[in-house]
Structure 1
Amino acid sequence: VVVSLLPASFHAAIARVCIELKKHLVTASYVDDSMSKLEQAAQGAGVTILCEMGLDPGIG
């Protein structure tokens, strides 16, 4: 499992590598269009990507 606490602008690049290497990903930032576009690839690779985990639980 990869845990990314980097700014959201890095998450799509990290997610692409995680999909390639078949590693699950947890991020603290919101889902944006670049992350949404990776949904099919992640599903195809059997990779779970959890976003918005820990940034503001219960607020959003």
Structure 2
Amino acid sequence: MFNTPDMALQHELLTYVAGEIDAGRICTTLDTVMSPINAQKMREAHRLIETGTAKGKVVIEGF
């Protein structure tokens, strides 16, 4: 269905990135995970980002 001419290249790139992550040469910018998703957590995440003190990505997860 989504067969594209660059599928083999995409596979090679994803395999390379996975290897770099496994080797510890690439790491996430994830800083904070908040759960569950609700208005309070949304306000808290927004406040954290507005303060400029977040060192990485802020994620809100879980329904």
> What's the TM-score, normalizing by structure 1?
0.34
Please identify which structure carries the higher helix content: 2
Find the structure with the greater CA-based Rg. Answer: 2
> What's the TM-score, normalizing by structure 2?
0.33
